[in-house]
Structures are given as structure tokens and as C-alpha cells.
Amino acid sequence: MTPNKVMLILKAHALEVGKTNSSNTLPKTAQQALDFRVDDWIVNAATVLAQDISKMDAGIKCALQCIDKNPQLAKEYLLEAIAHETKLEPVEVKRDSQGCWTHPDLPFLETLSFDKINGWLHHLNLKLAYQSMKKGTHDYNQFVVEQNRNISLWEPTCNVEGAFLILIDNSSDEPIAFFAVPLS
């Protein structure tokens, strides 16, 4: 379940009842909180989220049950659980003040492991392409030599048809960009 998936479900249910801005309906005091009645659209959205989480949980439980006897099957269960209803597509890139960005449908990963992300992408019929900021360029010198760590000016590219950006990061010694590339 990605942050984008949660937001899409909530927005869809809000749209159904014409609630595009619910901030004025939320309680402001302790008494209002006690009297607060949750709107049906919130209950419906929470139900959809709970069902999706339940499906993911079932896949994870199946994987744990067979991991010792059949690791390959366990891996398939886990990938199915992680990729449940996930579709990774190009989206507008809105970088932060340091020039970093992560695709909103990229699952929560503790580390930026090429192998972990590539494994997840493979289940979605994609593979990972990697680009690092090239040494000797003005952007690299500004980042490494001046220790500015701002990579806003860097525009990474991938010259493979259908490839799209999924991550720009400056947390390592060398700034990196990951692209999702369709499998041939």
C-alpha cells in the first residue's frame, strides 16, 4: 500500500459525496470530538483500505507459511502482496528544495537498494535503470566540492523508450536517479 494509493482511495470517496475539503467539518474542541459523527464516505474509504490491507496480509501470511519449504513460492506470495493493485506510471515530478523526489507509488523501502526496487519493479513488468551525477560536471562540483548538496539543477535522463523517473536522491556520496523501464 503506497501513500498515493491511500490518497486516491480517500479522494475518490470524498468526490462521491462532493467533499473536496473536509477540514471545516473536523472537530476543533474536545466536546466536538466527543460529538463527532464520522461521515459515511470516510467509513467507506476506510473499508476499502482495510480490505486491501487484509489481502496484503493474507499474501504475507502465505509467504511465511511456505518460506522454509518453498522459498520461490514465498517470494511470489510476497511480491503479489506488495504489488496488490499497484500500477506504476509516470507522474509529474515536484522536487523538494534540495532537488530530491520520490514517486508517490514507490513503496516504503528502508534503504535505496537497487536489488529491492528492481525486484519490486520486475513484478510490475518493469526494470530499474540507474544514473548518477557525472563527475566533472558543474552540478557535481557544486554538490561534491562546495558541499551544497542541492541537486535542483541536475536533470537526469534515461534514453530508453517508455522509461520514467521514480527517484532522485542526494543522500549518498554521489547523487542518484532511478528510472522505471518497461521490460521488452
pLDDT in tens, 117-161: 887 788 788 999 989 887 777 777 777 666 577 888 888 999 999
- The whole-number pLDDT of residue 118 equals 83
What is the widest separation between alpha-carbon atoms in the chain?
A: 63
Distance CA 12, CA 104 (A): 17
pLDDT in tens, 32-79: 656 666 677 677 777 777 777 777 788 888 888 888 898 888 877 777
Q: What is the pTM of this model?
A: 0.61
Distance CA 143, CA 159 (A): 24
Distance CA 107, CA 56 (A): 13
The answer to whether 113 touches 167, Cβ cutoff 8 Å, is no
Is pLDDT at 85 greater than 60 in this prediction?
Answer: no
- The whole-number pLDDT of residue 160 equals 93
